[in-house]
Structure 1
Amino acid sequence: MDHATDVLQDVAPQLRALRRRRGLTLEGAAQRAGLSPAHLSRLETGNRQPSLPMLLSLSRIYGTTVSELLGETPPERDPIVRAGRSEPVEADGWIYRQAGGAGRAMQCLRVHIPFATSTDIVRVHPGEEWIHVLEGRVRLALGDAVHVLDPGDSAHYDSLTPHRVGAATQAGAELLFVHTLIQSPAAELCLGNGTPHSR
């Protein structure tokens, strides 16, 4: 516990240095992070310990990662993802294959999605999403607007906008999907709705 407290204390001067390096005032950074200037000031002086969501928000604003804020040195990662090493995982008809490395700020997947139904769940959560259609047609609902995407079409949107993704063709559709959430297992993705299991 003492070590964790020491690590969080070490974050305080780093937060101030990163804000200044980005040329942001205390008020400007606090507004972007949804904090009061007084609260951010206490974080920067070590008088208040940041929560993980606060660290995530501030790291994005300052163009860094939570790991770097905490002074962690990430292990060397293999940048190549080989097709044969990606085991498909299924959840509620959605089939996921990892298309990016683990432990990154973005999660990249190749996904087969089933034909859209009226029971498809509308999702709302922090982050951004990007989809690119490889095969079939995709119906993307963003707020009140509905878009049909053909192979080669892409969409990039703020995932705080209520959204729903489904195939517009009976055989389903294949797409590339990238999102900027905290790393999470397939069960926590905004695709599908069931418990994931290996195929």
Structure 2
Amino acid sequence: MYDGINDIDLIKITQNDGSVLAIAWLGRTNYLGSIYDKTVKGLRLRKGNIQIGDGQTLNTVFKDARFNGWSIGEVFVSSPHLIPNARRDNFEKNPAYFVLIEQLQRVAAEITREIRAASLKRNRELTMELEKAKATVHDAADAIENGTDITAKSRILPKLSSAQKAVSNSTVTDESGVYYQEIAFMNWICSLVHSKVRRHSKRSTH
């Protein structure tokens, strides 16, 4: 499933005295997972027209570094106190740099919170779809076992198709793989019962 930018947030990053260190833009997505396109993946540092480092440079501001790969945005540094190092893979580590990093850690913490909230919401929705699919499969199995009439069986077929589609289209970020296993199993069960209902329906017409 493809993700996209739904909105853009502008964030002003300042020092304690209120002077601006940088302006950042952050793309708001559905946080479906790590971004595949490496040319835009991750928050990036820029000063003027020069990119400082790459899409992994700011991994360190995230407690869970992989979540930078779920993010998209740029931090445009404006303070003269933030000086690119000779390799241009980061800034010189002076007091202004550490303030910048501290502020970006707060931004990263908010991104992480939103990623986890989005993941929990999707997984709750998936759990509901799995339970619905199980109930539909149970009804279909009863129909086969008890010789339900052709009209009842014909009503079960679209329900099975809908259940299978809902489970297949679910987006999860479950690292344990349990949800993926359940999706695969329910897909298999739905397909199996669907074919059995069809066979029984055909027999009933003869």
* TM-score of the aligned structures, taking structure 2 as reference length: 0.22
Higher normalized strand content (fraction of residues): 1
Higher normalized helix content (fraction of residues): 2
**Bigger radius of gyration:** 2
Higher RCO, Cα 8 Å, sep 6+? 1
* TM-score of the aligned structures, taking structure 1 as reference length: 0.22
